[in-house]
Structure formats: C-alpha cells, structure tokens
Structure 1
Amino acid sequence: MEGTGYRDRIGRLVEPGERVLAYAKVEPAHGAPPPPPPDAAGPEAAAGRVSAGAVLLNLVSPLVSWAWGDRLVDRVVWGIAGRGAPGSAASRLGHALRPPEPDLAVRDTLLVATDRRLLVCVSGPRKMLSSRADDERSVAETGIAWSASRTEVASARVGWHRLNPKRLRLDFADGSWLAFTVPIVEPGRPLRDVAAALTG
C-alpha cells in the first residue's frame, strides 16, 4: 500500500478484527453514470424530452445545463462509466459519491478492500494551497461514504478505456458496475492491488 497518510485513518474506520488488504486514492470515472436510486431522483431526473438546443447549450456553456444533456454529453465524450438499474449497488455507490446538493469542496475518494468489505471513503475538504495542519485535518475528517460486503462484489479488474490504461471496473453481484480511475500521471499499482484484493 502507498503511504498517503490515510493508512492510520482507514485503520480506525474498520471494524475490530477487520484487516485492510489494499487501498487506492481514486476518482469516479468520467462518463455516463448509472441512474440514481428511486428515492434520490428529483424532478429533473423525471423530466421528459429535451430539445437539441438544450444539448448544444450543455456543450457551449457549463453554466447552462440540464441533467439529460449532461448525461448525453458525458456518454459521447467519455463513454459509459457505469450501468445498473436505479437502486442497484452501482446506482447507490454513484449517488453516494455525487450528492444531490452541490459540494464545491475538493475531496479525496478512497477505495478500500478489507477481508470483509469494500469501503468507499471520502476525505474532509482539501485546500489548494494547504498547510500540513490543513492536510491532517482533511485526513482526520475522512469517513465511510458507502460500503458493501465482499459477496456483493462479483469482480474487479483494471484495464484500458479509450486513452486511459488505469481504469478499475467494479462489477457487482446484481449485474451493475461502476468505474474508477487515477490521474494519468499517477501509478496504477494501488488500483491493481485493490482489484487483486477484491478478487483474491
């Protein structure tokens, strides 16, 4: 495991006797995500047809957007980042990482494989020009955003997607899936360690 400063914090988040096998700092993959769970769908998600002009506005100005247009643009530019029915494991995980209310803070996302569960943790807010105390506060505020038992994870594999060779695809037992990446300049070994720990 890489020494990112999160190792001790993750050790405090797991249950007594639970062993951390691997973790990686990740980003949800760009692309069209699975639909949100039924209880999280707002009026915008239930909207009907949207004109071609609305889609064009999504491309031209990120300040003028509709959820439907965003999904179409994501699908065309980035591809598919996950699939699953509303309420599936991928749907719930994706929604946990993209809360309905905008959060403009920069946060780290961690995938943690233990001998019992898959944990998805989110750090506290991070500052662009941070001091060591700021970084320690962000790590100390890291918490579990979502978890699933190992039996819910059907497979995990790292492979190429378009120009990115480091994309982790998590397949769940209910048939849904969601993808994660690391920045292109960062090593892919932590992702491969998480995939190996989940499938081993």
Structure 2
Amino acid sequence: MDESGYAEPISRLVGPGERVLAYAKANVGGGLTPPPPPEPTPTADPGRPTVGSVLLNVLMPVVTWDAGDRLVDLIGWGIAGRGAAGSAASRMHRAITPDVVLRHTVLAATDRRLVVCRSGPVKLLARRADEERALAETTVAWSASRAEIASARVGWHRLNPKRLRIDFTDGSWLTFTVPIAESGRPLRDVAAALTR
C-alpha cells in the first residue's frame, strides 16, 4: 500500500484546526518492549527464565514461555523499548500490539500531539478496492500530547540505520523501524516534527 495514501485518512482523524506536520508508516522495533499496562484482573507471574525453557523456546518456537520469549528477543533483537507497566511507552505498545489481522501502523506528528493510527485489515495480495477499504477504516489507536514527548531521533540499531526512538517525559521509550529497502525519510520527518 502506498504510504502517501494515508494523508487524507490522518487529516480526517485529527481535531479541528490541528495540522499534520509529518507521518510515517512504521513497525515497532524488534526486541524487548515495555511490559503491558496492569490488567484489571490479577495474572500469574511467569517467573524467571530457566536454561531449559530458553533452549526449548529456541528449538521449538511453537511452544513458548513468556520469560523465554523475552530472553530470545533480547539476544536476537536487543531492546526496542523500556518503561514500567502503565508508562506511556507501555500504553502505546499495548494499543498497537498486533491482533490476528494484519494492519499497518502509521505515526503522525501534529502541531498538538503524536497520533498513532492503525489501518483497517490489510491483505497480502490486495486489490485496489481492498487497499482503499483499509485506508477508509484507519482509526486512531493511541495519542500523546506534545508535552509528554521528551525527544525523538532516528539512528542506527544493529544493521538498521532507520530506527526512530521516541522518549517520553516519564522516562519510558519505544522504537519504530521501516524495512531496510524503504526510505527512512518519513521517520526522520516525524522525529523532526516532534522535536520542534
């Protein structure tokens, strides 16, 4: 799906008088992310990873343990975000965590806030009508005021020179990337717009 097609849906989703300064289609960076916000019902503590659980997780990826998944992500991808459960990065990550349907994530910097949008369901081999429907079903998944954003910058992470890191004033942060073959300019534009 062409990224320029998101201009109209994003402008429709922002408030009256709010100007869209930049936007970019991106994915949450690979690696460890902040824990999810606390759930209303108590959940069991997954415990510490054991060598056996990590080894089994690597050898049999269908059988998973939460602690083993976190360790494999750390070793394989590094750290994609930090923050306490319920922090801005935690809430943002929870809002865009993939469901069973493929959707695009679009970051938009406006003159008032950071807006994270999710497209409608996307098909891998989509026709024009499918793409238009996905664009029309774009919604706001999460947003934060400009006052909540401490900084934003694009830099290298491992072999990817196009990783956007958004730091929040509560000390949490989350990263976004685009595939190596795609331009990093939209991410740099979003970073520049957020730090004005």
Shorter-chain TM-score range: over 0.9
Matched, 1:19 2:57: no
2:169 to 169, 173, 189: 173
Name the residue aligned to 1:10: 10
Moved more, 49-58 or 75-84: 49-58
CA distance in 1, matches of 2:62, 2:82: 27
> What does residue 89 of structure 1 align with?
88
Residue type of the alignment partner of 1:116: R
Check if 1:66 corresponds to 2:65. yes
Q: Secondary structure at the match of 1:8?
A: helix
User: Over residues 19-57 of structure 1, what are the superposed CA-to-partner deviations in whole Å (9 max), with x where a residue is unaligned?
Assistant: 00000000000000011111278735x222343222112
Alpha-carbon distance in 2 for matches of 1:117, 1:142: 18
Match of 2:187 in 1: 191
Q: Distance in 2 between matches of 1:146 and 1:192?
A: 20
How far apart, CA to CA, are the structure 1 residues paired with 2:39 and 2:29? Answer: 24
Matched with 2:108 is 112
Cα distance in structure 1, aligned partners of 2:82 and 2:155: 17
Query: In 2 relative to 1, CA 130–137 (structure 1 residues): closer, same or farther, beyond 3 Å?
Result: same
Q: Percent identity?
A: 65
Distance verdict in 2 for CA 1:145–1:40, change over 3 Å: farther
Q: Is the aligned partner of 1:55 residue 2:51?
A: no
Judged with a 3 Å threshold, the aligned counterparts in structure 2 of structure 1 residues 195 and 41 are, in CA distance, closer, same or farther, namely farther
Distance change in 2, residues 1:186/1:47 (3 Å): same
CA distance in 2, matches of 1:192, 1:51: 40
Structure 2 counterpart SS, 1:70: helix
Per the alignment, residue 152 of structure 2 pairs with 156
User: CA distance change for structure 1 residues 40 and 4 in 2, over 3 Å: closer, same or farther?
Assistant: farther
- Whether contact under 8 Å (2:3, 2:24) holds in the other structure is no
Q: For residue 76 of structure 2, what is the aligned residue in structure 1?
A: 77
CA drift of 1:4 comes to 2.2
> Residues 197 and 65 from structure 1, CA distance in 2 versus in 1: closer, same or farther, beyond 3 angstroms?
same
Question: Structure 1-normalised TM-score?
Answer: 0.93
1:62 shift after superposition: 2.0
C-alpha distance in structure 2 between counterparts of 1:57 and 1:41, whole Å: 29
Q: Tell me the amino acid that sits aligned with residue 131 of structure 2.
A: D
Does structure 1 retain, via aligned residues, the 8 Å contact 2:46–2:66? no
CA RMSD of aligned residues (A): 1.5
Q: How many angstroms apart in 2 are the aligned matches of 1:177 and 1:48? A: 24
Q: Which region of structure 1 is more displaced relative to structure 2, 159-168 or 32-41?
A: 32-41
Alignment of 1:138-149 (within 5 A): 138-149=134-145
The change in CA–CA distance for 1:65 and 1:133 in structure 2 (over 3 A counts) is same
TM-score, length-normalised on structure 2? Answer: 0.95
Q: Which piece of structure 1 moves more, 31-40 or 107-116?
A: 31-40
Residue 39 (structure 1) aligned with residue 39 (structure 2) = yes
